[in-house]
Structure 1
Amino acid sequence: MKTLVKSGYITLLLSAFIYCTQLVNYPTYTHHNSLINENGTNILSRFDVPKGFKRKPVQQSSFSYYLQNLPLKAAGAKVKYYDGSIKYKDVYEAVVDIDIDNKNLQQCADAIIRLRAEYFYAQKAYEKIAFNLTNGFYVPYTEWMKGNRVMVKGNQTYWQKSATPSNTYKDFRKYLNFVFAYAGTLSLEKTLYPKDFSNIAIGDVFIMGGSPGHAVIVVDAAENAKGERVFLLAQSYMPAQEIQILKNPNDKSSSPWYSANTIDEVITPEWAFKTSHLKSWESK
């Protein structure tokens, strides 16, 4: 469960209990795979595509490029929880080298929000950093930059000027922590658009909103001459933990790649999604 924070004198008691809860325990394993380059420092260089597949070129300014180039910790690194303890469960192939706050906030949907927001922040596209809270209240980062903060009075949620205008990275992270506390799979799912599974692409999200609920993001993809696709998935989980590249528990030979051509559902080590759970940030 997420730890609640305060905004001014008001403790926001939105539906912060919409969190990632383990649905099914799937078997895990340890293996060495020829598709993995242990010296690779990012997703592109760490993971070779399966035989016959190629990555499509993407623009360097795109979200796809950002995800493909996420830095990875050294091969063999273990995922850390927000409190510094280790996640020993053998469900991930690599750990994304992005820091995590020492509060139990960056869980499943939050990690996806984090990646999307970090991308736009790096692009200085601050007007595109905006998310809905679970109660539907819209929280654009541009309002936070002005020194406005979210307040709640009765059934009303509103902005109030209560801080010095700022756009430092430290204040940006405070904004994210606020969003993490009061958004989740349910609110994120409502802002995304249905996506045809056969057209799966980098940046798409498998999401099942609710309690329990979970979400994972496509961080790389490749295609063969027949138009068949494979993809990599990343997640955080509960309690809050570092972002990790998931293993494929159903196909050791191609893990961590998942196939979009021979399955009706996507079974990850800690969650099972229907292909209809695939969503996109864009309406087309």
Structure 2
Amino acid sequence: MLTAICRLLLFFSFAATPITFPAFDVSMRSVADIPLPQGFERVPVAPGSFAEYLRRLPLRKDKTIYFYNGAVKPNQSLHYAVLDVSTGAKDLQQCADAVMRLRGEYFFGKGMYDSIRFLKGDRTYYQFAAYLKNNAADTRGSFLKFMETVFVYCGSYTLEQSMKRVNDVYSMQAGDVFVKGGAPGHAEIVVDMAVQRSTGKKIYLLAEGYMPAQDMHIVLNPVNTKMGPWYELTDEQKIVTATWVFDKGQLRRW
């Protein structure tokens, strides 16, 4: 009951105040194409890094969010763009699952199967390399089936427990995750960052999945709508996103 009430409060609190967002440009192909506020430039990322992978994530031309069953999400006002990443046909790939999916996709693309591992509630790990030895061949289908198992038995709590706390929010990096473990819980991943050279001010983009399972998307900034999907690093204790409110102490790193 508490979970349902929290979701309703979040939905109506943000839906009641329309968000004016910048026009979506269908020519954008990836996160790297999302325009920056004036005076900002993207921070350098290492070639082949997780941060570079996230910046290269493809965007769909259609910015409509669909649920896992093909239904259109009723509220389409809280996001800027939709990531071109499959959701699956089951109600499994939700918030923390979306974060783990991106992490797994990164390592799968690099052939680093030993690094595709996610913490379970019993403090052991689901490991893709072991899964391949016992169940399947090295195929993309095998990877997606493995991730479905992860989605069932892992979640925001285990994700939070498997990551290290970032004590200084100003040291944020692309790939870091805001995560609140538990029920209700939520997770959003930093997919890009930029800096204003004249002031040193940093901004970042957040992506999320949600419940029920739905297309991953870039969330809008409900506090400063002029920033579109960009969030500014500040001294504020609370980070108010389009669908959740995090404490800055909930920032985690792989």
When normalised by structure 1's length, the TM-score is: 0.81
1:124 matches 2:111: yes
Q: Which residue does 1:41 correspond to in 2?
A: 29
Matched to 2:247, the amino acid is: K
- Of 104, 116, 125, the residue aligned with 2:91 is 104
Within a 5 Å distance, the mapping from 1:57-76 to structure 2 comes to: 57-74=44-61
Residue 194 of structure 2 is matched in structure 1 by 222
Counterpart position of 1:141? 128
Deviation, 1:53, is: 1.5
Counterpart position of 1:11: none
Three-state SS of the structure 1 residue aligned to 2:225 is: coil
Query: Structure 1: any 5+ residue segments left out of the alignment?
Result: 1-17, 148-162
CA distance in 2, matches of 1:33, 1:99: 25
Summarize the alignment of residues 99-248 of structure 1 with structure 2, pairs less than 5 Å apart. Answer: 99-147=86-134, 163=135, 165-195=136-166, 196-225=168-197, 226-248=199-221
Question: Which residue identity does 1:194 align to in structure 2?
Answer: R
- Considering only CA atoms, is the larger Rg found in Structure 1 or Structure 2? 1
What is the distance in 1 between the residues matched to 2:172 and 2:31?
Answer: 18
Q: Counterparts of 1:171 and 1:242 in 2: how far apart (Å)?
A: 21
Q: Contact 2:19/2:222 (CA < 8 Å) preserved in 1?
A: no
Letter in 2 for 1:127: D
* Distance (whole Å) between structure 2 residues aligned to residue 207 and residue 185 of structure 1: 7
Runs (4 or more) in structure 1 with deviation over 6 Å come to none
Identical-residue share of aligned pairs (%): 34
CA RMSD of aligned residues (A): 1.8
Pick closer, same or farther for the CA change 1:32–1:24 going to 2, 3 Å. closer
Q: Distance in 1 between matches of 2:60 and 2:20?
A: 18
Say how many residue pairs are matched: 244
Structure 2 unaligned residues grouped into runs of 5+: none
Question: How far, CA to CA, are the matches of 2:152 and 2:201 in structure 1?
Answer: 38
Distance 1:32 1:109 in 2: 26
Counterparts of 1:265-276 in structure 2 under 5 Å? 265-276=238-249
Counterpart-to-counterpart distance in 1, 2:133 and 2:153: 20
